[in-house]
Amino acid sequence: MDFAFTEEQEMLREQVRSLLASEYPSERVAELAESADGWDDRSWKKMAELGWTGLSIPEEHGGAGMGFLDEAVLFEELGYGLFPGPYFATIALSLPALQSAGERVSKVLEGVADGSARVTLATTEPDGARSIEDVERVGTSAEPDGDNWTLTGIKDLVVDLGSATHVVVSARAGEGVGLWLVEPSPGATRSLETVDSTRRLGRLTLDSNPAVLLVEPEDAAPVLRNVRLRSRAALALEAVGVSQKVLELAREYTSERKQFDRPIASYQAVSHQVSDIYMHTELARSMAYWAAWCVGTSDEGADRATASAAALASESAVAACEGSIQVHGGIGFTWEHILHRYYKRALGIANFNGTPTSQRAAVAADLLGA
């Protein structure tokens, strides 16, 4: 079992970090976070031109035909750069359903690869399903309309809904739950007030909207399980990127800031906090890479690995941000400093599709056979 990235993957990492540093410095990220749209649509086209959006899309649909381990590099670096855009929503959440449908949505897959399509997943509801796999409480209905379908219902907490050209929606048809693809109509989407303005959530209202069937009713469960595994691993990797960045911010600041003619990093009360951030970040990195490997190789331990990584990495990211804010002192609490935006992303990661506590419960159930 080798968790080391290949030379090509490390070159991809350097490319991603270099681009984000030059085009999305902290000032630009803050500007986008406060803007009406919350992101720069030119970034998606550039990512597509560089081949990032099509890494795991089959070559016949315009992609590179690679795998999740290649995407893992992107997720970690996009967390490090606090990228505000729909990469997580499209690649981690939506691709499994699109690829399950194959030729029926070939143009959408080609659109993701070439940058003309952005997709998100809508499964949770205000008064129904509260997680990706909660098919028992799905209230959105799917009705046949000749050879087509229409969907009616409300979906909540939809990631990056405002930037999506298409939405994968879970809905009930008869006794089963399937997945459909819809194009949001004007007025059907609404942005929700949440902590992290770099990753916005929205509400989707469907009223007999036309839809394309992706996954047959009663067959959604295995696809949604794949989504759960991918999203857990992707967010664990993002959390590692967040931790790494705030660690570097803490190290740089404490090495330069002086008190009584000595860098504050020379004081144990400060240096021990920075070392704690480092240790937790490295442990989380190992867990996240293990989870990515399990997802990428379809390992039978993927459930345990991804739940473990999601719990540890998200909590580590939150603690890393808190520690970095503390060692920055007063400046760390200011609105102008980028730290609070990393902190909010870490909080969002920790509460996506469950909490660290619920992830630990899943690990315990797996270990104990409960």
* Span 60-84, pLDDT tens digits: 999 999 999 999 999 999 999 999 9
Q: What residue type is 79 in one-letter code?
A: G
Render pLDDT for 160-196 as a digit per residue (tens, 0 to 9).
999 999 999 999 998 899 999 999 988 889 999 899 9
Which pTM does this prediction carry?
0.95
Tell me which fold the domain 222-368 belongs to: Butyryl-CoA Dehydrogenase, subunit A; domain 3 (1.20.140)
**SS3 for 38?**
coil
Q: Decide: 215 and 97 in contact? Cβ < 8 Å.
A: yes
pLDDT, mean of residues 265-269: 86
Share above pLDDT 90 across residues of the chain, in percent, rounded to a whole number = 87
- Rounded CA-CA distance 57/192 in Å is 31
Render pLDDT for 128-151 as a digit per residue (tens, 0 to 9).
999 999 999 999 999 998 888 999
Confidence of residue 256 (pLDDT cuts 50, 70, 90): confident
Tell me, rounded to whole angstroms, the distance of Cα 196 from its chain centroid. 12
pLDDT, mean of residues 336-360: 96
CATH 1.20.140.10 domain residues, the chain: 222-368
Letter string b/e over residues 329-363, b meaning 16 or more CB atoms within 10 A of that residue's CB: eeebeeeebbbbbbbbbbbbbbbbbbebeebbebb
The more confident residue out of 248 and 333 is 248
CATH 2.40.110.10 domain residues, the chain: 120-217
- Rounded CA-CA distance 18/257 in Å is 27
Confidence of residue 1 (pLDDT cuts 50, 70, 90): low
Q: In the predicted model, what is the mean pLDDT of the chain?
A: 94
Render pLDDT for 98-116 as a digit per residue (tens, 0 to 9).
999 978 899 999 999 999 9
The more confident residue out of 117 and 332 is 117
CATH 1.10.540.10 domain residues, the chain: 7-117
- Rounded CA-CA distance 241/247 in Å is 10
What pLDDT does 2 receive? 61
Closest CA to 44 of 13, 95, 82, 85: 85
What pLDDT does 188 receive? 86
| 142 Cβ contact list (under 8 Å, min separation 6) | 149, 150, 151, 171, 172, 173, 178, 180, 211, 217
What pLDDT does 102 receive? 78
Tell me, rounded to whole angstroms, the distance of Cα 89 from its chain centroid. 6
**SS3 for 161?**
helix
pLDDT, mean of residues 21-50: 94
Render pLDDT for 201-235 as a digit per residue (tens, 0 to 9).
999 999 999 999 999 998 999 999 999 999 999 99
Q: Which CATH architecture has domain 7-117?
A: Orthogonal Bundle (1.10)
What CATH number does domain 120-217 carry, 2.140.10.10, 3.90.76.10, 3.40.710.10, 2.40.110.10? 2.40.110.10
